Amino acid sequence: MIKDLINTELKDFPKEGLNIYIIKKYVFKTSSNESFSVRNYAVVLIKSGEFKIRIKEFTTELRAQDLMVLSKDSYCSIFEVKGKLQLFLICFTSGFAFENCLKKELVDSFAFLLGDSSSKISLEDKDFQVLSLIYKLIYFVNKDSRVSVEDSELQRIGFDLFLHELKFIFNRYSTGNPFKINRRQNLTVQFLTILTIHCKKQHRVKYYAGALFVTPDYLNKIVRKVTGKTAKSLIDQAIINEIKNVLENSPSSITLIAQDFEFSSLSKLSIFFKRYTSMSPSQYRNITLGRFKNL
């Protein structure tokens, strides 16, 4: 059952690339049916009951208030389910994570998602309650197939909040550096870090490759292997995120925004923005302002 939920093709959902489950009664089948390779990122939070899980050669027990990140491409076996097993499960693709959360304050959250080893943490009651509320928030916003602009924004905010809380939990409960990331993953995290700082002015892969002392082709190859996205597509998405932020929170004219983001003309900014959002910058700003007026 967990295997099927984690490895669902996350396309036909209210938010493409993301889904969340609140499982009130887990039905355990057989150990052979519960052995699987993890295709999506998955974070599980146990509410009650317990079970054993084997990841690679390591076996661990998950009990009430345990949190576990299941690494993408890891191989798992679930067995010995005990008690009334209830759990929260969030699954998302690498594309969703990287496209929606390219922000300075969230980049280091990707370290535990990219890690080669899955991580388990036993939460204190307060942290469990906070994280379970965030799961419920994302669940109720995400369950309606008719997603409005407001709901889409709430989904993004909810997922950002989720990553913020995971970052806080891992920093609080972990000692040293528990995340084992390989050289390719480390280069990708470095690229994302530089990107979130300089994307406003630097739009070319060549700049980031030079900052990391690699060739543009090599950087693009590594980033694509780790994230499933090209370096250029992530640069463009980071720029779009920053432009949205300015349009939502700043009174700056769109002409001034074009200048600040190093576009040669207002029309170049409009063409770029509309390519990714299907709206002009002014349309996006008007929708955003209208949303807040109706609150």
- Domain boundary at 173, 204, 235, which? 173
Same domain as 96, residue 203: no
What's the domain count of the chain? 2
Token couple for 159: 């997922």
Nearest to 77 by CA among 45, 29, 18: 29
Same domain as 189, residue 146: no
β-pairing verdict for 18-23 and 119-122:
unpaired
Which residue in this structure is represented by tokens 């204190």?
Answer: 124
Q: In this structure, what DSSP letter does residue 109 have?
A: G
- Domain boundary at 151, 173, 195, which? 173
Neighbours of 75 (CB within 10 A): 12
- Domain boundary at 133, 148, 173, which? 173
Q: What is the mean pLDDT of the chain?
A: 83
Q: Is the dihedral of CA 26, 31, 36, 41 positive or negative?
A: positive
Domain contains 178: no
Domain contains 269: yes
pLDDT value, residue 39? 80
pLDDT 10s digits, 141-171: 877 655 555 556 677 778 888 888 888 888 8
Same domain as 217, residue 87: no
Same domain as 73, residue 15: yes
More confident call, 244 vs 1: 244
pLDDT value, residue 281? 94
Domain containing 97 equals 2-101+119-173
Same domain as 243, residue 210: yes
Domain contains 77: yes
- Model confidence at 59, in pLDDT bands (50, 70, 90)? confident
Same domain as 144, residue 18: yes
In single-letter form, the type of residue at position 27 comes to: V
Whole-structure pTM value: 0.75
Which residue in this structure is represented by tokens 């419920």?
Answer: 136
CATH number at residue 202: 1.10.10.60
CATH number at residue 143: 2.60.120.280
Token couple for 103: 């922000």
Range name among 33-47, 181-195, 244-258 with the lowest pLDDT average: 33-47
Cα–Cα distances in angstroms (integers) from residue 156 to residues 54, 139, 246, in the given order: 32, 12, 16
Domain contains 113: no
